[in-house]
Chains A and B, each alone.
Chain A
Amino acid sequence: MQGGWRACGPRLWLRHVDKRVKVKTRRQEHRGWLLSVDPVSASLVLVNLVESRASVCVVMGHAVEEVELLQDGGGETGEHIWSFLNPTPPCSLDAKQTRRKRVAVCSWLRKNRIPVEEVEEEVRVAGVLTIKAPYRSEDCSSSNQVILDRVQRLLRAHQEHAEAQDSD
């Protein structure tokens, strides 16, 4: 079974996600909700809830001998588990607030000599970076690390700037 789990491929892994699984390694057995499988190393992230705390176990892909599905998860459990790891809750803005935020972010970036264009709800930067609503530094996505870092820093500075103005 060596390499069996690694050979399964991303689509089969995705089908195991958010379900309760049992993972066998050479000496041990791990059980828990499968949060994710790293597509690079095939490592599994298992979560167990113990008295409102989450215990997370990562089993390295090379050590996995067997993976067994135990139980299908309800969607709620998955989200509940996710909230332990995601400290920034998705922020909800209405359409008007979103537009105002988008305009503010665009003008801030332009002020900093960054070329931006608005494409529907998204903000595109130089054709290589996309900022989705609600336009925080966590909402940026780009495959260029350098540009990503710069724009995220600018957005963070903008957030701090806005917060400082609010408290005045």
Chain B
Amino acid sequence: MATPVPVLRLPKGPDPNSRGFDPNSPRYIALCRTTVATTEAAGGDEEELQQEQHARSVLRERFLRCLLAMNNKKVRFNMHENVTVEATFGSSDIDVLNFQVSDLHTPIGVQKEALIRSQDVISFTFDA
């Protein structure tokens, strides 16, 4: 039977003003400077920068809509060492460093609520 496991410790979340992690915090620097910087080729060229910014916004909007579509869906995470876990997807933070999930089916039991570090995930799938 699937039994909920008590929470031992949760990783520290983003700062409370919902702007994600402080980019100067050691944790952030250690994990990843996620935002992909503008390409050097674009240089100072105003028009190229604008094109790149447009591409970014189109891609990001699509990605965010995918995240929205994923909300409350059963998702299967493929992680390192051939570990596969199932959970109900909640959302991710703006830097895509963590995923919030519910009913995480781990090999030792079911965790009611959990945060999964995106660094530990290789891919995840769901059915729309």
A-B contacts at CB below 8 angstroms, number? 112
Which stretch, A22-30, A91-99, A111-119, touches the partner chain B? Answer: A22-30
A81 to B: closest C-beta gap in Å: 9
CA distance A30 to B122 in the complex (A): 11
Encoded as 1 (CB less than 8 Å from any B CB) or 0, chain A from 1 to 37 comes to: 0000011011101100100000001111010000111
Q: How many residues of B contact A (CB 8 A)?
A: 36
Contact between chains at B60 and A38 (CB < 8 Å): yes
Complex contact B122–A55 (CB within 8 A) = no
A53 contacts B by Cβ under 8 Å: yes
Known A38-B96, A54-B128: A17·B39 in contact at CB below 8 Å: no
1/0 per residue A31-62: CB within 8 Å of B? Answer: 00001111111110101000001111111101
Q: How far is the CB of A26 from chain B (nearest CB, A)?
A: 7
B52 at interface, CB cutoff 8 A: yes
Q: Does A164 contact B (CB under 8 A)?
A: no
Smallest CB separation, A154 vs chain B (Å): 21
12 additional A-B pairs beyond A11-B55, A35-B66, beta carbons within 8 Å, are: A36-B66, A37-B59, A39-B36, A40-B60, A41-B34, A41-B96, A54-B127, A57-B123, A58-B124, A59-B123, A62-B32, A87-B69
